[in-house]
Amino acid sequence: MNIQLNTTHKLHLCKIPFLAIVLSMLLMALMAKKAAAQDRTITLNEAIKLGLDNSKVLKLSQSKIDQAVSQYNQAKDRELPTGDVSFGYNRAEIPANTLDFGPSVIHLPKSADAYLGIASVKESLFDGHRLKYAQESTNLLTSIARLDAVKDKDQIAYEIISAYYNLYKVLQSKKVVNQNLETIDQQIHQSQRFFDQGLVTKNDVLRFQLQRANIELTGIDLESNRKIINYNLDILLGLPETTQLNIEQINEANREPGPLSTYIDTAIASRQELAQLDLRNRVAETNIKSIQANTSPNLSASAGGYYVDVSGNPLPRSGSFITPVTLGLTASWNFGTLWTNKNKIAEAKIQLDQVGINKSITLDNVKNEVNQNYQNYVTALNKIKLLQTSIEQAGENNNILASKYKSNIASATDRADAETLLYQAQINLELAKADAGLAYYTLLKSTGKLNK
């Protein structure tokens, strides 16, 4: 009997470490899950930096720059001398090896071996500057690719800012909803007490309960939007999709705008699209010069060395091989380009004119965009001022009706309407502040100064 008890006791002791390990693993899993879903408060500058560092679009833009640089280096390489080397072996079998010329007969060998080696170097001395224009063109295209990357960077930053402000709008609206739910709960409690005392009807209590239900519906929609925006922003920033983001208070809406002309002048000087069109204008001009250079003659120098060995042994032996060396200077001119190039030049000039027209159109669009964004920002600031006044009025009206309702002078309908007006004014103000902040960054983007 004692042996059985001891055995059972040992079995229980063996189970304890196993259970401890299982519990530890479960605890670690729960802690990891909790850590994965931890909240993170992030500033706008941190969000922009994270997004730019992790952007796949910007990595693709950098690869395009690298490609353009490689093409430029290839154009430079075409200025270097070209060289060629070869070595070959030939064996000839000659079944009919006799040439009979009447008085004389030539007997050839039945077979013959030959080794032929050639090494040559060629350098262009003058080609009408075609290589120079090719380098200029690829260098300008590299600069255009860099401006594309800057434009992509601005667009990514703006998308992050837009998502950041949208999340801020939702979070602020949720705060207002929660505040109003607390207030309406107090009103429901008070109206229920009045109903119990026979001071109000059941319909008055139901009105407050209906108002609470409507506020809860708004909260449900806001939470759904928050999850969508939060997930998209996590992806943009390269964060785990479970990260719950919190937004710090933002105050950019307090910035007073300067004159419209200042923003337009800044856009004309800084917008990447206009700078790219200036570069494309230079590319078109260079293309015309390159086509015109096709009519120029070419002058090149060359040097070559030959190794000719007629023995069967590939190793050189005295008297069995020759090594002629050549030096050459070659001038060539494809004069047919004098009449075949004229239409190519005409087309290139048309392309140059198109670039100029496109820049004029783009300039008008930039001015319109800046003006529209400027007016939107000014309007957003004016809305904030107006809504602040509305909140003061709605708050005062709410306080008056709250006092009247407690004194049983105002109806539950009037009381609920006053609460609704104040609630709506508070939400509108928070949304207007966020809209003004986003409008400010939209204006900055249209001037080309978003990341500068």
Do 321 and 237 lie in a common domain? no
| 122 in any annotated domain | yes
Predicted pLDDT of residue 212: 86
| 433 in any annotated domain | yes
| 24 in any annotated domain | no
| 277 in any annotated domain | yes
Q: Please return the burial class of 199, using the count of CB atoms within 10 Å of its CB with bins 0-12, 13-18 and 19+.
A: exposed
Decide if pLDDT at 446 tops 90. Answer: yes
Q: Please return the burial class of 47, using the count of CB atoms within 10 Å of its CB with bins 0-12, 13-18 and 19+.
A: buried
- Looking at mean pLDDT, say which of 28-37, 403-412, 415-424, 440-449 comes out highest: 440-449
Domains: count for the chain: 2
- Looking at mean pLDDT, say which of 114-118, 161-165, 247-251 comes out highest: 161-165
Residue 126: CB atoms within 10 Å: 12
Predicted pLDDT of residue 391: 86
Do 112 and 163 lie in a common domain? no
Nearest Cα neighbor of 230 from 214, 245, 250, 208 is 245
| SS3 state at 241 | coil
DSSP label at 427? H
Residue that wins the pLDDT comparison between 11 and 326: 326
Do 239 and 361 lie in a common domain? yes
d(CA 327, CA 120): 10
CB 167 within 8 Å of CB 247: yes
| For residues 53-72, average pLDDT | 82
Do 201 and 87 lie in a common domain? no
| SS3 state at 87 | strand
Do 290 and 186 lie in a common domain? yes
Tell me which residue range forms the domain holding 118: 81-94+108-126+298-332
Q: How many residues does the chain have?
A: 452
| 245 in any annotated domain | yes
Sorting pLDDT into bands at 50, 70 and 90, what band is 75? confident
- The pLDDT tens digits of the residues spanning 317-349 come to 777 778 888 888 888 888 887 888 888 888 889
Residue that wins the pLDDT comparison between 388 and 79: 388
- The pLDDT tens digits of the residues spanning 148-162 come to 888 888 888 898 988
| 27 in any annotated domain | no
Do 304 and 214 lie in a common domain? no
Do 312 and 174 lie in a common domain? no
**What CATH number corresponds to the domain at position 259?**
1.20.1600.10
Q: Is the dihedral of CA 42, 43, 46, 48 positive or negative?
A: positive
Do 206 and 59 lie in a common domain? yes
Q: Which of 26-35, 100-109, 224-233, 417-426 has the lowest mean pLDDT?
A: 26-35
Residue that wins the pLDDT comparison between 405 and 84: 84
Decide if pLDDT at 4 tops 60. Answer: no
| 368 in any annotated domain | yes
**What CATH number corresponds to the domain at position 305?**
2.20.200
- Looking at mean pLDDT, say which of 14-23, 342-351, 369-378 comes out highest: 369-378
Contacts of 349 (CB under 8 A, 6+ apart): 288
| 452 in any annotated domain | no
Residue that wins the pLDDT comparison between 302 and 38: 302
CB 189 within 8 Å of CB 140: no
